[in-house]
A and B are shown apart, each in its own frame.
Chain A
């Protein structure tokens, strides 16, 4: 970045100090966000690589590319890497870390050193997991179901369990930091009703991280003990109940879906008002629906277990509660749509991702209704229908939101503009590739193709070929942004402080922000999303 030929660069968090130490020992939330960005991107591509191998294997019905055991490890590690090392930290640890203090007008998170510790825990977990991959990997599926994981698998279950246990603490510390920061560090005048909805979404996410993750941690610990010492807690031959594992596992792992999707919803709620130049329709409804999702999300876990052998009556309780959690999600979709009404809408890259998010999330949410319906769940659970459904939520939803957010705040993060034309192209490719990959899987699922199958009956081939074709397109769509983001760090246009004329405190400081975020402490006297008071930006031109 030494090519500051135009003007002498102002001091900011990026150029204040140089050298590896200044990064590895930093307590600046913005630098930690970038450390996270680099590390989760690394894991994203590892997980993506596994995904492509899975899709390639499924191109033909016979298992002819890799061995069965290898395939089992591929989907297990794809799931674990993507969930625990990419999706859960993705938006909170990168965008959340970067933006929570900026958006509320704080100098940093409440506990900067704990923030750094959380990154080191993540890296430790990541290294343990990488070691596990190198030493042969793990083949339990991401779900670690007992007694397979405790008594039958011959792979590195203990190591994977420990890695995820550590990653869990990283996630807890992030959540803890956010809750305290949001409560204690808001700038004068930044009342709860003036908070950006991104903050509300992260607040809700943090609640789940705080109260859900420890249950996963203890469950995995028990699995590790059980595997090492044959205690019998989850082993039916010793009087244990394998369903107890599933209860404890899903108590975290269902709400974990909301850890992934809520921040993404927060991102979309920032993007839409900005590119429609409007206040959010129904601010309090959107804010409270985030909290409602966090709370109701904990009441529905056993809908993953409708055919697992739970009692008929509890299945009914969990089914009806599952519909309850659908309501706040629906409220959000309706409010986003209503926000567009009578707006002044521009089709910039972040907005394209936001549109994509709403579309794919709606599809994912609506197919969730199928899975919550007991009678249908029996047929489609553990088939590709489920695979398609959760990819619509977690990839279609969470990753679209993540990419949209990365584009939206990239000027703030890097001080450079990304190339708009490429951005729109990539958004389009991701959207098309995604649908081609995962829509056929709904059909496959209803036809009855079980998930985690290395080989399959030949009548499912055409749909699988479509899906594999889509996945290659999707891969291109994911590589593109990485390439042009890296490119823009050197060659992109210098970003103004507020390129979108967006509301929000983060846009009132320089791009990139100084180390302590604001030259002087901001005092908030306006409501969130006061787009009526902000001029419209020039329509972004496609030339750079």
Chain B
């Protein structure tokens, strides 16, 4: 965990990126993409979250593997909750 001071240029770039993505995701939701509306919205959200985590939260610059492990395992656990619950709901009576 060395003190890594990131040039403020990067912060501004990320900030502009996030703003653009926000406007894009809001705009795209008005276009009919079928099932892809949800997918695009979630992909953009994930990309935005990734930008925040990597740059604003300095994960890209930390040498600490532990931080990444904490993030990855929390997300893994969240997916466990979602997928194993879905395993029930998606195969219940009548639903196809």
Contacts and interface: CB of A to CB of B under 8 A. Distances in A.
Tell me if chains A and B make direct contact, with any CB pair below 8 A. yes
B84 interface: yes
A251 B81 contact: yes
Interface stretch (B23-31, B32-40, B55-63, B86-94): B86-94
A314 B91 contact: yes
Given A183-B66, A211-B74, A311 B81 contact: no
Contact of B87 (A183, A215, A243, A314): A314
Interface in B49-96: 66, 73-74, 77, 80-81, 84-85, 87-89, 91-93
Contacts of A301: 84
A291 to B, nearest CB: 11
A313 interface: yes
Contact of A299 (B80, B89, B91): B80
A536 to B, nearest CB: 40
A406 interface: no
A211 B77 contact: yes
Given A211-B74, A247-B85, A298 B91 contact: no
Contacts of A211: 73-74, 77
Contacts of A310: 88, 92
Interface string A503-523: 000000000000000000000
B77 A311 contact: no
A166 to B, nearest CB: 22
Contacts of A312: 91
Interface centre among B88, B92, B93 (most CB of A within 10 A): B88
Interface string A199-240: 000000000000100010000000000000000000000000
B88 A314 contact: yes
B67 to A, nearest CB: 11
Interface residues of B, number: 14
B86 to A, nearest CB: 9
A302 interface: yes
Contacts of A243: 88
Nearest to A210: B74
A312 B92 CA distance: 8
Contacts of B88: 243, 247, 302, 310-311, 314
A311 B91 contact: yes
Contacts of B89: 311
Interface string A295-317: 00011011000000011111001
Contact of B91 (A215, A247, A251, A313): A313
Given A211-B74, A311-B92, A311-B93, A317 B87 contact: yes
A183 B64 CA distance: 12
A251 B74 CA distance: 14
B84 A299 contact: yes
| Category for how many chain A residues contact B | 10 to 19
Contacts of B73: 211
Interface centre among A244, A314, A318 (most CB of B within 10 A): A314
A20 B74 CA distance: 40
Contacts of B87: 311, 313-314, 317
A317 B87 CA distance: 8
B95 to A, nearest CB: 9
Contacts of B91: 311-314
A310 B91 CA distance: 9
Contacts of B93: 311
Nearest to A244: B85
Contacts of A251: 81
A101 B71 CA distance: 26
Contacts of A299: 80, 84
Nearest to B85: A247
Given A310-B92, A313-B91, A298 B66 contact: no
Interface string A238-281: 00000110010001000000000000000000000000000000
Interface in A302-343: 302, 310-314, 317-318
A379 B3 CA distance: 61
Interface centre among B66, B84, B92 (most CB of A within 10 A): B84
B80 A298 contact: yes
A501 to B, nearest CB: 36
Nearest to A241: B89
Interface centre among B73, B74, B87 (most CB of A within 10 A): B87
Interface in A282-298: 298
A298 B92 contact: no
Contacts of B74: 211
B85 A298 contact: no
A215 B92 contact: no
Contacts of A302: 84, 88
Contacts of A247: 85, 88
Contacts of A215: 81
Contacts of A244: 85
A47 B74 CA distance: 34
A299 B91 CA distance: 18
B91 to A, nearest CB: 4
A318 B85 CA distance: 11
A243 B87 CA distance: 13
A183 B85 CA distance: 32
Interface of B: 66, 73-74, 77, 80-81, 84-85, 87-89, 91-93
10 contacts: A211-B73, A211-B74, A247-B85, A299-B84, A301-B84, A302-B84, A311-B89, A311-B91, A314-B87, A314-B91
Given A244-B85, A311-B92, A314-B87, 14 more contacts: A211-B73, A211-B74, A215-B81, A247-B85, A247-B88, A298-B80, A299-B80, A302-B88, A310-B92, A311-B87, A311-B89, A313-B87, A314-B84, A314-B91
3 cross-chain pairs, A with B, having the tightest CB-CB distances, nearest first? A314-B88, A311-B91, A313-B91
